[in-house]
Amino acid sequence: MTLITSPPPTSTPTPTEESRMPGTPASAPHLRLARPLEGRDGEILTPAAIAFLTELHDRFARRRHDRLAARERRRFEIGTGDDPHFRADTAHIRDDPSWRVAGAGPGLEDRRVEITGPTDPKMTINALNSGARVWLADQEDATSPTWRNVIGGQLSLFDAIRGQLSFTSPEGKRYEVTAERTPTIVMRPRGWHLPEKHVTFVDRTGRELPASGSLVDYGLYVFHNAHALVAAGRGPYFYLPKIESAEEARLWDDVFSFTEERLGLAHGTIRATVLIETLPAAFEMEEILFALRDHCAGLNAGRWDYIFSIIKTYRGRGARFVLPDRSEVTMTVPFMRAYTELLVRTCHKRGAYAIGGMSAFIPNRRRPEITEAAFEKVAADKRREAGDGFDGTWVAHPDLIPVARAEFDAVLGDRENQLDRSREDVCIEPRQLLDLRIGLPVTTAGVRANVSVAIRYIEAWLRGLGAVAIDDLMEDAATAEISRSQIWQWIHQDRETAEGTAITRPFVEGLLADVLAEVQRFDGERFDDAAEVFREVALRPEFPAFLTLPAYAKYLD
């Protein structure tokens, strides 16, 4: 099959003579780092690694740009009335029963419980000691992409893979990997949309572009660790975030194939699990699997970003696309049930693992009643997923691993997966994925909760924290995106709260002032900057596609 490609962009940035490295001809593509190397940076940013990153950008940066332009066009089409649908031009792929994906690679055969988290040394060690079968080493939504975090995360993974990682806290507590069996690492790079502003790519014509966060994260990790992971029988493996089309998946597949050839790996060594966390991707699951079939292990139900994508996509389409309080948009509402059941059926039809989503509830060791409630809610969530046919699931805290594992053990027993459950009873129509009716109102408490979560998360993100416990929930960039997007939509769709208050900018500004008055101030806090970011992404007429883009460009080091 030849996947559809989009036309090239109409304009590109113009270089300056001063921007070129001295002595480097304009025809030689190269990268320029904005920061001098510090500490152990040189172990990651070696000349050979930078040369590999340059090759990746030389081959794939233009196609990435084309795919992002195609996203914008499709988003505009949906926003003006052309609803997503199952593609007619790829029906032959869906109708062909013969093809299968590569499936689980070595060390990924049993994925019943996966733990997610950032890649700083302490969290890396905690994840490796957690008892989970898989660790999603997250350079994306759970990591604030400061330059220190980007390179520091690579160093943590480099050391962990070689069994040489340890960490001593400022208080003197020492952390070491003590588990006899550590989880298989599946690394998640940043999505295609995110740049790496500390690295500039200068192409063959001398044009300058910010480097791709995806290619920087992926390239450094695979270059340094691929052979060590293969020798250990555990990789290299990746989670692919924010995919919106089969063409974007095909771009990743070509990146993988080039990498295997360049690094001397057998074709198909690299395996990827794709997060289905955007509305357009939900309509192209089989096509995404097909595009990645030689490298694909499965799909994941990225529930929180999926909700964000729906709000973003339909933010201007009228009252029937307005969702109630975030707490009411659960996995049991009809459109979310349709999405997850379609995912399981699609995966098992093609020999791919279906991995469930992350429940945001976390324990509170100081309040046993909160912990008990969290355990009950997580158990119910994982019981539903296991019963629906998922092959594994996510948790965000080590204490939740036994809870989730018990629910999957009850269904799986000694089996590694549920691929034999074809779910042929499932037949999902486009209207079921787009029927957002829940029948509940927006409340004043719901609006205030969104303001509070968004402000407190953005403030922590600006300080370099990507996963933050707020009110006994684990919040990351996806849940902050839901919070600010709902506020923008409620304002622009002239919603009222159940108590009869119009949701307007002045009303939200008042709630913002209340939250800022209540938060704890401390040295190094960035609530004033967070408030400015919040106003830009939630209260202005324009709607940034991702809150991380303006926040990263203006405020993050």
At 22, is the secondary structure helix, strand, or coil?
coil
CA distance 66 to 172: 49
Catalytic residue among 63, 67, 71, 188: 188
Residue 476 catalytic?
yes
Identify residue 311 by its one-letter amino acid code: I
Pairing outcome for strands 392-395 and 237-240: unpaired
Residues sharing a CB contact under 8 Å with residue 466, sequence separation 6 or more, in sequence order = 118, 138, 141, 142, 143, 144, 149, 476, 477
Residues sharing a CB contact under 8 Å with residue 185, sequence separation 6 or more, in sequence order = 134, 135, 137, 157, 160, 161, 229, 234, 235, 237
Dihedral pair phi/psi, residue 445, rounded to 5°: -65, -35
Residue 557 catalytic?
no
Across-strand partners of 175?
167
Catalytic residue among 253, 381, 391, 476: 476
| Residues 73/78/83/88 CA torsion (nearest 10 deg) | 0
Identify residue 139 by its one-letter amino acid code: Q
Of 280, 297, 329, 239, give the one whose Cα is nearest residue 71.
Answer: 280
Tokens of 294: 């030689």
Residues sharing a CB contact under 8 Å with residue 21, sequence separation 6 or more, in sequence order = 30, 32, 202
98 burial type by CB count under 10 A (0-12 exposed, 13-18 middle, 19+ buried): exposed
At 30, is the secondary structure helix, strand, or coil?
strand
At 353, is the secondary structure helix, strand, or coil?
strand
Indicate which residues carry an active-site annotation. Answer: 188, 476
